[in-house]
Amino acid sequence: MMRRLVVISRCICLAAGILLSPQLSDAANDEDPYSVNIEQNLATPAVNAKHSVAVANAMGLLTRTLRQAGFETQGVRKGEVTMVTIPCRDLFGPNSIELKAKGKQLLSKLVPYIKRSDKYKVVMAVRITSDRANAIDEYFASALGGESPVIPYGLGNDEPVAPNTGVANREKNRRVEIYFVPTKDFIDNARKKK
């Protein structure tokens, strides 16, 4: 069953390292993650300031593990969230919404982490086309043998990460961002290990 893809018209402030307001975080705590915007999903659950370092250290292990697996990764939200960036050219052919065989192999490396819904809420942003976001989400659903736990967003061409001029800049804008957001249980465990 295909879920409705959420299309947003705002930039991902979190990816740029801009913190979201507490009101945004609190508002999404009781919301269905499929009914809120990407900023709210990336901001929740919030981490108490005194536990931020412990959570960032625990998430740092995931960031390093995925980097060693060949992914471009970085910590966002002060390291509390792991972001994986994949160029669309690695997943799709030109003007195609069908995943390439090599794209499926690449995504398969993320499946063990995506299925850990006890540890991570997974949010995906695909720039330029919602059809590509749906293709990736459907791949994960198939690989997991049921519904995908990924919360997909298609970001429009009015939200480029680079000026949409020239081949190199357009290439930067055609990418997939997969965010691993720690769950409340993950945060509680990281806090206890501190």
Picking from 153, 157, 150, 158, the residue whose alpha carbon sits closest to that of residue 133 is: 153
> Which amino acid would we find at residue 46?
A
Say which DSSP state 33 is in: T
* C-beta atoms surrounding 110 within 10 Å: 22
Burial class for 116, CB neighbours closer than 10 Å (0-12, 13-18, 19+): middle
Can you give the pLDDT at residue 7?
37
Return the SS3 of 164: coil
CB 168 within 8 A of CB 181: no
What integer is the mean pLDDT of 85-91? Answer: 94
Compute the mean pLDDT over every residue in the chain, rounded to the nearest whole number.
82
Burial class of residue 58 (count of CB atoms within 10 Å of its CB; 0-12, 13-18, 19+): buried
- When mean pLDDT is compared across 1-5, 6-10, 156-160, 167-171, the lowest value belongs to 6-10
Report pLDDT digits (tens) over 92-144. 998 899 999 999 999 999 999 999 989 999 999 887 678 888 899 999 999 99
Check residue 189 and give left, alpha or beta (phi > 0: left; psi -120 to 50: alpha): alpha
Distance CA 174, CA 95 (A): 11
CA distance 56 to 82: 9
